[in-house]
Structure 1
């Protein structure tokens, strides 16, 4: 049975729902493995070899190697699991979020201090202005 997903037409938005959880299961399990210091060390020593131990798709592995968090989310990654990767790299959540928006960390921080991104262009496709 197909569920109605009205949220699929919001530009630039990836919703982590049950379907995405199934797609990203192994990617997210890999991320959780990084909670253990010995796994972080193994990953840092040879990222490709460690990733190859997980039954992830090649696209998921390449997204991890490229540290492309938007692509990881498109491949079923949940941002709270992906945080284990950028934390392992010594990066803050703010830094990772900035890279996902194409901004510097300073630009991203200022945007958030100014109230966040504009809703203009970020509403449902076809949504009328002012509604």
Structure 2
């Protein structure tokens, strides 16, 4: 029996619901493993080898390697778990959020200090900056 999901279809929004949690379970568990120093060291020494220890999809692994957080979220990642990747890289949460919007960290901070993005304002695709 399919559940009614009235929140589906919000432009630019992925809702982390039970389906997303199931899809991203191993991705999010990988992220949580980075809370231990020895796991961070192993990951940083050979990212691909460490990721291959997890039963994640190839798409999830590639998104992590590319640090494409928007794609990680599409593939079931939760931003609070994904923040562990940023911390492992020595990046702030603000840096990570900026990377997801296509803004520099300074532009993102200025926008947030001014009250955030206005509803209906255009959203830049961060992949256009590559």
Aligned length, in residue pairs: 122
* Alignment-derived partner of residue 8 in structure 1: 8
TM-score by length of 2: 0.92
* Alignment-derived partner of residue 84 in structure 2: 84
SS of the residue 1:111 aligns to = helix
Instruction: Report the Cα distance in structure 2 between the residues aligned to 1:56 and 1:120, rounded to whole angstroms.
Output: 35
Deviation at 1:84, TM superposition (A): 0.4
Please list, as runs of the form range in 1=range in 2, the aligned pairs for 1:15-34 lying within 5 A after superposition: 15-34=15-34
Calculate the aligned-residue CA RMSD, in Å: 1.0
* Alignment-derived partner of residue 129 in structure 1: none
Deviations 1:1-34 (A, max 9, x none): 1111111111100110000000000000000000
* Alignment-derived partner of residue 65 in structure 2: 65
Deviation at 1:75, TM superposition (A): 0.3
Instruction: Report the Cα distance in structure 2 between the residues aligned to 1:119 and 1:3, rounded to whole angstroms.
Output: 28
Instruction: Report the Cα distance in structure 1 between the residues aligned to 2:105 and 2:6, rounded to whole angstroms.
Output: 32
Instruction: Report the Cα distance in structure 2 between the residues aligned to 1:46 and 1:90, rounded to whole angstroms.
Output: 17
Unmatched 5+ stretches in structure 1: 123-131
Cα pair 1:47 1:65 within 8 Å, conserved:
yes
TM-score by length of 1: 0.91
* Alignment-derived partner of residue 41 in structure 1: 41
Q: Which has the higher contact order (CA 8 A, sep 6+)?
A: 1
After the TM superposition, which segments of 4 or more aligned residues of structure 1 sit over 3 Å from their partners? none
* Alignment-derived partner of residue 106 in structure 2: 106
Q: Which has the larger radius of gyration?
A: 1
| Range that drifts further, 32-41 or 5-14 | 5-14
* Alignment-derived partner of residue 51 in structure 2: 51
Instruction: Report the Cα distance in structure 1 between the residues aligned to 2:87 and 2:7, rounded to whole angstroms.
Output: 29
